[in-house]
Amino acid sequence: MTLCPTLDPDVCYAAVQARDERFDGHFFFGVSSTGVYCRPVCRARLPKRENCSFYATAAAAGEAGFRPCLRCRPALALRDKDRKPPPLIHTDKPLHFALTYRPPYDFSALLDFLAARAIAGVESADGQGYRRVLAVEDKGTTHLGWIEVTSDPEPSQLRLRMAPSLAPVAAKVLARTQQVFDTQADPQAIAATLGDLSAGSEGLRLPGSFDPFELAVRAVLGQQVTVKAARTLAQRFAQAFGTPVQTPIPELARRFPAPDSVARLDRDAIASLGIIGRRAEAILALAQAMAEHRLHLDSTVPAETALAALCALPGIGPWTAQYIVMRALS
């Protein structure tokens, strides 16, 4: 039996039946009858084959709506068998979680990237960590709250603190945080593939996205302008059309506008912020496509499908589409 990079369902289910440790960390499986996702080595009762679906990452399983198994702790699974995952820590207010990563991990470089693009009011980043307002949709309900991510390098963990209001969607928040901070990357495998290209940069990670629509709008605003200019326009956009919120973190005071609310705007309202007409039209097209569920930007969608849907929209070319897919779908 070989490992299954293409996630052949029959091979994956055979590995689950055998609880084969060679597959641990290489895929995860969701169980429709329980709503949880597990590692292939989980010692819980074996589910029926027809109830199982298979995912390359824990983040993808979380995005599909499954919550992590409390027995095998898949959100903390590592391919590195020399270290056991740390316990998942809960407190009353707020909630606390630990996310393990494989060193080397250049947390400061990731923070620098996020800080240069942070939208004032919606998010903030500095040398200590990253914070943001977060809205998570689940079964027709929007759960609004805040999160904070810091690093604890000695046990190779990120610490996630979240508002109690996000408790019902904690699994999705965990999955998104793993994706944004690329905690499941294997630096040894990456270095082996990139060779000399990765020399001296083995700890770099690919920044993901907490809000794919926000990322897509930001990518459009960044066309042919500097990072600083795009950030200024994104801040105006959030200030004009976002929703005010109250949080215990002073710099977090606004939710980035949702696709359905932007879809109801007109071109002139967006252009009045100093956004040129073609980009205002592209933002409207993005919002309408996502509000109408014609465009999906999450890890359950094949990259080719997302790229084709993005490039079909006015004002979005291959470069912008590739950038959005790279960060939204990892």
CATH of the domain at 271: 1.10.340.30
Say if residue 296 is in the same domain as residue 236: yes
Q: How far is CA 78 from CA 81, 200, 265, in A?
A: 7, 23, 45
Confidence check: pLDDT of 282 > 90: yes
Query: What mean pLDDT do residues 217-222 have?
Result: 97
C-alpha pair distances (Å), 117 with each of 147, 161, 313 = 17, 21, 24
Whether residues 117 and 191 share a domain: the answer is yes
Q: Are 229 and 308 in the same domain?
A: yes
**Pair (191, 220) in one structural domain:** no
Answer whether residue 60 shows pLDDT above 60.
Answer: yes
Instruction: Return the pLDDT at 2.
Output: 36
The number of folded domains in the chain is 3
* 219 within some domain: yes
Region 217-225: what's the mean pLDDT?
Answer: 96
Q: Is residue 228 part of a domain?
A: yes
Q: Residue 49 maps to which CATH number?
A: 3.40.10.10
Report percent pLDDT > 90 for the chain. 74
pLDDT of residue 246 exceeding 50, the answer is yes
The DSSP-derived string for 67-119 is EEPTTT-GGG--S-TTSPPPPPP--SSSEEEEEE-PSP--HHHHHHHHHHH--
Q: Which of 9-23, 109-123, 180-194, 313-327 has the lowest mean pLDDT?
A: 9-23
Range of the domain at 301: 212-242+255-328
pTM of the model: 0.76
Q: Tell me whether residue 90 is in a domain.
A: no
Residue 129 belongs to a domain with what CATH number?
3.30.310.20
Which range among 23-27, 108-112, 124-128, 214-218 shows the weakest confidence by mean pLDDT? Answer: 23-27
